[in-house]
Structure formats: C-alpha cells, structure tokens
Homo-oligomer: A and B are copies of this chain.
Amino acid sequence: MHVAGIDIGGTNTEIGLVSREGNLLFSETIPTTGHNTPEDFVREVVMSIEKGCAKHNAQLSAIGIGAPSANYFSGSIEFAPNMPWQGIIPLVKLFSAALNKPAFITNDANAAAIGEQVFGAAKGIKDFILVTLGTGLGSGIVVNDQLVYGHDGFAGELGHVIIEENGRQCGCGRKGCLETYVSATGVVWSARDLIRSGKQIAGITSIEHITARDVATAAAQGDLNALMIIDETARKLGFALANAVAITSPSHIFLYGGVAKSGDILLIPTRKYFAHYLLRNFAGKVKIELSMLPDNAAVLGAAALAWKEISP
C-alpha cells in the first residue's frame, strides 16, 4: 500500500508514491504552470500517479497534498498569491473524484510538520513547532499530537507575527512581520541594507544578485559583517520562538528548509537568544533542532498527511 504525496509549488509540482515507512517508491516533477485550468493540472498529476502505480505495481490508498494557502477544512487552495489560478481551487474534491480515494490537503508548512512527525525527528513528540525557513517563514504547530488549525484552518502563521512595530514592509500589507527579517528574503534585505550603509561582505560584489546562501557562506568563512547579519537574524528568530513557546509550550522546535540548512551558523546563536528571551518556567525544557527530513521532504510531508489520516 502506498499513498500519493503531492507538493504543489508556484513553479513546480512534485508527485511521489510513499510507503507507510516513508520510502519513496516513485517520484516525478511537473510544472505547476502552463495548464489552462485546475482540472487540466489535476488530470496531469493523476496521470503521473497512475503511471507510478502501474510501473511499480503499487496500490494507492489515499492522496495527500501540500500547497501554499491550502485549507485543511475546506479542502481547497484559497486565494494563493503565487499560484497560476485565482480564487478557490477545490483540489481535494478534484483529486478524490479522479482517483476514487480519500484526499487531504494542508498548507506546505503544516505538511512539513506532519512529515517531521510521521517520518522525521518529531516521531513520538506530541508538542512541537516546526518552522520552515525558505523564501518566507512558515510554521506548523502541533499541540497534544494534533496540528493546530484554528477555527478557520489558517493557524500557524508565525511568519506574520509582528516583531518590530513600523518595521520592514511585509507582503501581507503590514509592517515588521517576522518573515521580513527571518527568511532568505529577510537575510538578503539585511545584506543590502548593510552594503548600502557602506560596508562589505566577502564574496558579494553585486547588490542585485545577493542570496541568503552568499551571506551564510561569507559568515561560515568568518566575515564579520555576514556574521552580524546572521546573529541579528538569530536574535529575532530566538525572540519570536520564545514568545511562541509562552503560548503553546512545545518540547521541541524544528527548523526546516533552505535557510535552516546553513546549520550551526544559524542554530547556535538562535539557541543562545532563545534561552535569553525564554520565560524561566520553560528554561532548559525546549530543544531547538534541525529537521531530519531530506531535501525532497515536501512530498514526504504531503504523503505523511495522508498516512496520518488513514492510519494514525
């Protein structure tokens, strides 16, 4: 028995067949864009799943989908800013009708949290927060073994906690959201600000083409300005995480995604600032760790959602 994991991104969609143990039997990537309608897109994904099942003689049990702005309750993608389709796209209905199997959807950060719980470092952990550090900052919050969806399915927007009043302009329309500082975009912003102020970062020659990886690389090589950016990023992350712990009291926080891959260089100062800002009640009780999921984890997370629903 296998489930299909579908990770829908703004550019590409990855499709995988995943066993209960997390083994990836088959995977394929197709463009998310270039389809006239969501139905056309679903048809192509379904063909890929059927091809995979046929090739490996696998039996499909369910479909799990991870996508930005996806709502677990409604089974739809709702008004996703970076998707080729507008409005409400009822993917659960479309996939379950096409494949005659139960389908489940959640947003990408929630899928990552469930993936971590089913296949990764959060196995057996009932209260944790997973933070995805990529272009933006997402989060999946698990309380008493259940993902926190909130009344409308949109809980877990840690990236949009305001940490700096009248701070950086966020894409959400407000100012000072955590993700404007702590994300690849935020790190690049900090690097540009620093270079504009007349300072330099080793290896960065053009202000236009900076990446967060450039900054992490310079920091790893000991560049003091790059280290200062990472330190300030870690400070803001540690601060926001300490505040989040006061609300849901997790035993673990997992950092996941591209920016988290910078590893100890971000992790160590984040732990330091987190301890500094943490309420004493929680001192020493909350571990911050890197995700144990591999790079292609998004499809595993989507598959984990399906497994958790059909065999919890």
Contact = CB atoms under 8 A, between A and B. Distances in A.
Interface string A81-107: 000000000000000000000000000
29 contacts: A141-B247, A143-B148, A143-B155, A144-B146, A144-B148, A144-B149, A148-B247, A150-B250, A151-B249, A152-B249, A152-B251, A152-B282, A154-B282, A155-B248, A155-B249, A157-B246, A157-B247, A157-B249, A158-B246, A160-B246, A160-B279, A162-B239, A162-B242, A162-B243, A172-B279, A174-B277, A174-B280, A244-B247, A247-B248
Interface residues of A, number: 40
A139 B281 CA distance: 15
Interface of A: 126-127, 141, 143-144, 146, 148-158, 160-162, 165, 172-174, 239, 242-244, 246-251, 277, 279-282, 285
A151 B151 CA distance: 22
A285 B155 CA distance: 13
Q: Is the interface of A mostly helix, strand, loop or mixed?
A: loop
A239 B239 CA distance: 16
Given A150-B249, A161-B246, 20 more contacts: A141-B248, A143-B143, A144-B146, A148-B249, A150-B250, A151-B251, A151-B285, A152-B251, A152-B281, A152-B285, A155-B247, A155-B249, A156-B247, A157-B247, A157-B279, A157-B281, A158-B246, A158-B247, A161-B247, A243-B243
Contact of A277 (B144, B162, B249): B162
Nearest to A165: B239
Query: Which interface residue of A141, A160, A251 has the most chain B CB atoms within 10 A?
Result: A160
B173 A151 contact: no
A141 B244 CA distance: 13
A227 to B, nearest CB: 21
A229 to B, nearest CB: 19
